[in-house]
Amino acid sequence: MLVLPLRNPMLALLVAGTPCSLAMGLSPDFGAVDAHLDANLAEFSPTPGQPALYVEVRREGAPIYTYQAGSIGRETVVGFASATKLVSAGIILALAERPEWGLDVPMGNTVLLMNSHGKGALTPFHAFTMTPGLCSNPALGDTCPAYEILPFYTLEQSAFQIIINYPVHHPPLTVMSYDGAGMQLAGYTATRVFNKPWQELAEETLFDPLGMSATSYTRFAPNPAIAGGLETNAADYLLYLDMLLSGGVHEGVRLLSEESIDTLWINHTQGLPITNSPWNNKEGLDLPYEVESPPYGFGCWILAEEPVSGVVEEICSPGAFGTFPWVDRTRGLTGILVTEMPSGSREWVVETHMIQLIREAIDNAVRTDYLLVE
């Protein structure tokens, strides 16, 4: 299904959240979203007939749609798998704003072992744009263990295993290959630079200022698993998404600079060959602009990029357990579907269509508002 850009200037202005549209009390009809989720509850039922699903959509920081079924609610803490990546990206960006570090500083400057294993030139930027060129290419016969999530390793131990054992297939920034190993190295490097555990860095940069009291990197403890170890709930994660939508500001306090926020809204893998992507081989995905496989940004997928202007409109960070968070700057939306399924992200097919139905509900409501104004 194709998402059409908003060509009418007045309509685009209303979608952006002008005082006029807010004053008129935008009232989208989410009936089609309800029906779609009702019809697909089996996809979110770890045990047949026992769903585990919570959905919340917010516009300009206020809830406009919720859906709940079964054992998961707004406050239920579950493992977020790769939905972790977008949060870890925010932590890395906050740390990179400090004078001690930077996104383009070679990690081998801090972790000397990386230099003797051909990885010293890798940077946090390479890691969080999925371009470090490390092992993650099934087409080349890679069978590297996922050291970054193995629960019997500490962060340091898992990082050393990656440094010593992972082959480097490509120079940095030459291919996009989805993997969590680079992020694990970046997280470990950060703990060395700032001499603090990863959880403490997370708390001081984001979790405490945002009030994310239910959030921790404990899914694979003692390994924090920078790319997939987050345990949290919808309430906490939405605080983070709302901050991103607000340009890095939470309750009047700036947590991320405008430059850091801009980093999240860039297609950093434009034109690069994709050698490994979890979006591949999923039939029925409903992606904007008829894209078959999204490109990668910084710790997140580019869910919608206007093909003519190149403007990134939506980012997302879905995980293998089915949880799917996203931010839509065009419509002023943050949203999350929380579940915990063992099926390896097959739910994304249902979720991408759900998000398309949400877009349509918002756009139809805005058009109605516009016609009433006329």
CA distances from 334 to 20, 132, 342 (A): 21, 29, 25
CA distance 240 to 258: 15
For residues 273 and 137, what is the distance between their CA atoms, to the nearest angstrom?
12
| CATH classification (class only), 9-373 | alpha beta
Q: Cα(94)–Cα(18) distance, rounded to whole angstroms?
A: 30
The answer to whether the beta carbons of residues 337 and 55 sit under 8 Å apart is: yes
Task: Please tell me the distance from the alpha carbon of residue 241 to that of residue 92, in angstroms, as a whole number.
Answer: 16
Q: Write down the pLDDT at residue 145.
A: 84
Task: Look up residue 228 and give its two tokens.
Answer: 């997939």
Tell me, what's the pLDDT at 19? 30
Q: Mean pLDDT across the stretch 5-20?
A: 35
Residues 136 and 276 sit within 8 Å (Cβ to Cβ): yes
16-40 pLDDT, tens digit per residue, is 333 333 324 678 999 999 999 999 9
In the chain, the percentage of residues whose pLDDT exceeds 90 is 82
7 vs 156 pLDDT, higher one: 156
Pairing of strands 274-276, 176-177: parallel
Q: Which two tokens stand for residue 193?
A: 């630079």
Residues linked to residue 316 through DSSP beta bridges, in sequence order: 301, 326
Strand partners, 56: 66, 336
Task: Quote the pLDDT of residue 138.
Answer: 64
Helix H, strand E, coil C: the string for 215-247 is: CECCCECCECCCCCCCEECHHHHHHHHHHHHCC
Which residue reads 């003692």 in tokens? 222
Q: Is the pLDDT of residue 342 over 70?
A: yes
According to the per-residue pLDDT averaged within each range, which of 14-18, 88-92, 345-349 is highest? Answer: 88-92
Residue 124 reports pLDDT greater than 70: yes
Q: What is the CA radius of gyration of the chain?
A: 20
Is the confidence at residue 372, as pLDDT, over 60? no
Token pair 């690069």 in the structure block, residue: 272
User: How many residues are there in the chain?
Assistant: 374
Confidence class for position 73, pLDDT limits 50, 70, 90: very high
Q: Which residues contact 66 (CB under 8 A, 6 or more apart)?
A: 54, 55, 56, 57, 74
CA nearest neighbour of 359 among 371, 370, 367, 369: 367
Quick: pLDDT tens for 282-322: 889 999 999 988 999 999 999 999 999 999 999 999 999 99
